[in-house]
Structure 1
Amino acid sequence: MTQTAALSPAALSARIRNRAREMGFDLVGIAPAHPSAHGDAYERWVALGMHGEMGYLSREDAVARRKDPAVLVPGARSAVVVALRYYVPDADPAVTGDASRGIVARYARGDDYHELMKERLIALQEWIAAELVPAGGRAYVDTGAVLERELAQRAGIGWQGKNTMLIHPRRGSYHFIGEVLLDVELEYDHPFASDHCGSCHRCLDACPTGALLGRDAAGAPVMDARRCISYLTIELKGPIPRELRPMIGNRVYGCDICQEVCPWNRFAQPTNEAAFLAREGLDGPSLIGWMTMTQEEFSRRFRNSPIKRTKRRGLLRNVAVALGNWGSPEAVPALTVALNDEEPLVRGHAAWALGRIGTEAARQALRERTEVEEDASVRQEIRLAMESKAGF
């Protein structure tokens, strides 16, 4: 250990901020690790079931940890919060309007950010303990029981917009957030107290599924995750509700709509992290090409990618929905292959898509599958598709 003489909280904080920037983080702030100001609102949100199937958000121990970081890390007194930008412009802006090509959320077009961020935060924590002060703590990136956007606001990095994202007034919202909880006293940044959303409600108006519900009485933004396209295409493991499928369009993994319409993102700066740049084929992939992806192809293509989270069956479910929304007869051959997939989840959504397309070839594929289909949920999807008025 090569620690210098005892430093004041102000000196410690200054050294930590400088070190975090040297490590490549774009923004850094330091906040007290006191209980959440929105803990009660979080409990009400969970009680209303707005977390959907994300059971890890509603466990009693997880709720307690989110309400108070000191429960998560005993003795926690300070939080070093960092942000790393990931914005990548569309290589071909026409992709959004081309329904034959899928849209992948910008954060998922490159490598999985968890590993890169976590490695740097652990290195920052170890540096603090080795060079500055004996400090216990723990680093988190997105997966821990931390209300990280509230912490970031408390650390002066930005405010939580009506779209629930953390927004910086000169950089926008395309940032990954991470934090190191420490058991030492530091000097803290001033909280970001202003709400710069004002009367703007573009994100609320633009959300196709109506997932964004504005702010609650305490000023916290509220989202019904059960209707969020990111939830539907990533976190939801089973069938996507039929009434929401048409609203998803051609977004096959995640959604950026509420960020794309946000006026503050005119200040968004492209990432300088090579790992976050779009991989080949992820900026507007062919829906037809993806629909027949094998497990081997999925594993190879999405190694160390956030997209692996959906597993093959989840991604192909999403692609089938996008093809159904496209509605072109060109998709029928690929959907017919998917209608015979080993995964019932894929077969069911392929049936829905064929029903949306509604050509005789689509109907014939559905009839043939009916003769051999044994899964009750898929048979139900086929029956509803055959009863659809679209093209029949």
Structure 2
Amino acid sequence: MTPAILVLNVGSSSVKFRVFAARDDLQLLADGRVTGIGAAPVFRLAGQDPKALEEGTTQTEAIAQVLDFVTASDHHWQLVAAGHRIVHGGEEFRAAVLLDEEVLARLDRYTPLAPLHQHHNLAAVRAVAELNPALPQVGCFDTAFHADHDPVTSSYALPASVRKQGVRRYGFHGLSYEWTAKVLAGQPGGMPKHVVVAHLGNGASLCALKDGNSIDTTMGMTALEGLPMGTRCGALDPGVVLYLQRSLGLSLEDVERLLHDESGLKGLSGGVSDMAELLHSARPEHAFAVDYFILRVAQKIGEMVVSLGGMDLLVFTGGIGENALSVRERIVSRLAFLPRFKVQVIAADEERMIASHALALISLSSG
């Protein structure tokens, strides 16, 4: 039997999973997902035909399907841990942790700060605990990689009485940036001193790496701040929110939906959030959305360069960063005024980073 680690990344309508061998090389054993949860669910496994699941399959039932697949006798895998991506760890959770109900109760407090993700992340942990109570589970946080930022970087210009309530910049996509730093450190010549990493996908942000450590990032207290994204607005004058409520009569729920689900590329283009579709379109509003995105990314890279005091390397990762050559080229072109720097593309692998943390924790707990 091969000891195996299941990595789960759970959203509102999907369960993405990978299975890794629980050894140092973390061999990938399986890669799949359940999509269409709540509508027409489909179990998809890399290299195999998709399988339709029963209509109305819940998130817990989808996770049960994944566990059944992993523990099927013909695989000869012994599941030893489940690792989870948890978006928000607040100030409290600065490294991966073993999960239990007491820890989950503390993590519930951060759900309002990541309403698109946190609830689903934690529900998945509880579902696995219900289905396999004896299985160790490990939580890995998108905020943890940024936990040591200087207060000058992590603070908002608000009174101390507010800042003491946890109102600060946390940053996200930390698992992606941690993986990128690990890849760079293992390359010939090692880690460059000043690196800006652009994680560009449906969610998008930047990170300033100095000697492999995060010293600044574009997302803030929530995953709304910073770059425009697929459906999220990015940086926005807070006065706009006041105006939307006070003068346009939008409710709190209306504003939340607008900023999270109807803005970004989708709002700019008139309904399209997918960069590949925008790039292949001749419609002027689609070109405008792409132009806006490229300008804002280049501008924010400039901010990261200031924090670093220079840039030796610009790394692109994420779905757009890895696959949209024209977007990369146009961003780099806008940075031509900077002293010469190298450009590299690194494939994101947050799941392998989670598996690495899970393996380390279960080894410690058993050793």
Task: Give the TM-score normalised by structure 2.
Answer: 0.24
| The structure with more strand, counted as a fraction of residues | 2
Relative contact order (C-alpha < 8 Å, sep 6+): which is higher?
A: 1
| The structure with more helix, counted as a fraction of residues | 1
